[in-house]
Chain A
Amino acid sequence: MDDFLLRALLAGLGVACLAGPLGAFVVWRRMAYFGEAMSHTALLGVGLGLLLGVSTQLSVMLVSVTLAVLLVAMQQQRQLASDTLLGIFAHTALSLGLVLLAFMETVRVDLMGYLFGDILAVSTLDLYWIYGGGLLVLIVLTLIWRPLLALTVHEELARVEGVPVTQVRLLFMILIALVIAVSMKIVGILLITSMMIIPPAAARRFAVGPEQMALLAAAIGAVSVAAGLWGSLQWDTPTGPSMVVAAGLLFVLVQLSGLFFQRK
């Protein structure tokens, strides 16, 4: 196997293992729009990173985390619903990113690469980002797993029973921001949410417990990554979108299998 293919596969598998468990919470907490908006913000991070000449992963991380903190702070007021706030922040950030990129005439920017991913160009440094950042994300997620699950089921009940709700929620948003930052290069800004949502949704049919669903989601994500990579080599299709198509096909397959083997 060629080096760049091996790196691509490793990067994709790393992202699948992150996006699965975290995505399970995105699905349980109905935060698909949050993930979507958050990832759009990443473009502002890219613009700032290129402008200041720092690593784009770092700048995307900083911008996304700032947005998450800002959102949690703004959610304390009640006049605007959080999805409205999110729309305001995220789309402003996306547009600001595009405006910034337009100003930088000297920098050649591969916009398509950021929007849809460029997994075949993954470098060894990118792999460090994915596995280093990913390990951190999984450790923190494990630590906040129980309280996060408790507040997902019933927030006030969790609060009465001693869960530090605001802190846990903020940590979770920061984790999503981190995952977006490290996996941007793999499937791109526009498609990263799909890797968080489709695998857990497909896993639901077979899962009897929350942890099981999260692990299954990681596995389904990994299969999608491998299948997408293979398909993109076979038919010369764009890699990121091919992985998402593979995940979508798996989801459909699972639904169809449910029709034939109806569970009680």
Chain B
Amino acid sequence: MAERDLLLEADGVCMAFGSREVLRHVNLVLHRGEILTLIGPNGSGKSTLVRLLLGLLTPTAGALRRADGLRIGYMPQKLQVDEVLPLSVARFLTLTGRYAKEKVAAVLREVGADHVSDHPLQSVSGGELQRVLLARALLREPDLLVLDEPVQGVDVNGQVVLYNLIGRIRDQRGCGILMVSHDLHLVMAATDRVLCLNHHVCCSGTPEVVTRHPAYLDLFGGAAFAVYSHHHDHAHDLHGNVIPGDEAHCETGDSDG
């Protein structure tokens, strides 16, 4: 397929629950090889939009188009598995698909979570769980990755590492990525386009354009504009070990911000 293949298109999508209107005339396009980040305050309709795009909800008006045979890998916001269900990470990854052991191991290596393969799912840490969820989405060899708050519950350094990983996945696999985030600082470096949502599309464009847009500033106030930018002389890998030297790409804000 060509590089600019259209994966997903929303055209004037509206959604209401009863009399409560959650989304108004949302337009959106997503191409292969592109990272689109959805930002917006709590209750702005981000999750509803994601559920519409996933096909879990049907819009009350407007049209949703997906590429033929579009394979979606979905990483949900939360996963809470009861202690009473004995389930290893490897088993969790193969719940809906039968994959060869080598393939599961390779994907776990790709996301840097191969060391938890045999652990009970309930025992892995927040950051590891995000990686495991990402691995399950990747196992489907998706054309489109939908990541709902992928760095939730991960500390700032871990977030940077995860966003770098997501960027690398796009580069290597060439899939389209739709990401939900509630703040923009850290996601800036990893995203191509940003769509700022508050029941309707307030503004959209490259991160630089959006962060200067009056609608964005209205929504997030001055605080969001304090761009996160600093240097570390080391970073941490997944196990907490220090990785010295130039691996520390912690600078995530745009320098002219």
Residues on A lying within 8 angstroms of B by beta carbon are 27-28, 30, 146-147, 149-150, 152-154, 156-163, 201, 204, 207-210, 212-213
Contacts and interface: CB of A to CB of B under 8 A. Distances in A.
A28 B92 CA distance: 15
B54 interface: yes
A154 B79 contact: yes
Given A153-B81, A157-B74, A160-B55, A147 B87 contact: no
Interface of B: 51, 54-56, 72, 74, 76, 79, 81-82, 84-88, 91-92, 95-97, 136, 140
* B84, B95, B136, most chain A CB atoms within 10 A: B95
Interface residues of A: mostly helix, strand, loop or mixed? helix
A161 B86 CA distance: 22
B96 A158 contact: yes
Nearest to B82: A28
A209 B95 CA distance: 12
Nearest to B121: A153
A203 to B, nearest CB: 9
Contact of B96 (A30, A162, A209): A162
Contacts of B95: 146, 149-150, 153, 158
B228 to A, nearest CB: 31
Given A28-B85, A161-B140, A209-B91, 4 more contacts: A157-B74, A157-B79, A207-B86, A208-B88
B72 A160 contact: yes
A161 B88 contact: no
A153 B86 contact: no
Given A159-B56, A160-B56, A153 B88 contact: no
Contact of A210 (B56, B87, B96, B140): B87
B169 to A, nearest CB: 18
Contacts of B76: 154, 156-157
Contacts of B74: 156-157, 160-161
A212 B72 contact: no
Contacts of A161: 74, 96-97, 140
B87 A209 contact: yes
A39 to B, nearest CB: 21
A152 B88 CA distance: 15
A147 B171 CA distance: 32
B144 to A, nearest CB: 11
A160 B71 CA distance: 10
Contacts of A201: 84
A153 B86 CA distance: 11
Contacts of A163: 96
Question: Which 9 interchain pairs have the tightest Cβ spacing?
Answer: A150-B95, A161-B96, A160-B74, A28-B85, A207-B86, A150-B96, A157-B76, A160-B54, A208-B86
